[in-house]
Amino acid sequence: MPFRWNGDLATGIKAIDFQHQEMFLRAEKLADACKQGKGKEVLEELFAFLRDYTVQHFGMEEKWMTDLLYPGYPLHKAQHEKFIDSMLDLENKLEAEGKSTEIAIRLSVLMGSWLVNHINAFDKSLAIFLKNDNQAKNFI
Q: Which pTM value belongs to this model?
A: 0.89
How does DSSP assign 72-123, residue by residue? THHHHHHHHHHHHHHHHHHHHHHHHH---HHHHHHHHHHHHHHHHHHIIIII
CATH number of the domain encompassing residue 16: 1.20.120.50
**Domains in the chain, number:** 1
Residue 19 belongs to some domain of the structure: yes
What value does the mean pLDDT of the chain take? 90
Assigned domain for 102 exists:
yes
**Predicted local confidence at residue 54, as pLDDT:** 92
Tens of pLDDT, residues 83-130: 999 999 999 999 999 988 889 889 988 888 898 999 999 999 999 999
Residue 5 maps to a domain: no
Write down the pLDDT at residue 101: 85
How far apart are alpha carbons 75 and 78 in whole angstroms? 5
pLDDT digits (tens, 9 = 90+) for 76-95: 999 999 999 999 999 999 99
- Is residue 18 in some structural domain? yes
In a domain, 20, yes or no: yes
Is the pLDDT at 62 greater than 50? The verdict is yes
Is 23 in contact with 49 (CB distance < 8 Å)?
A: no
Range of the domain at 50: 12-138
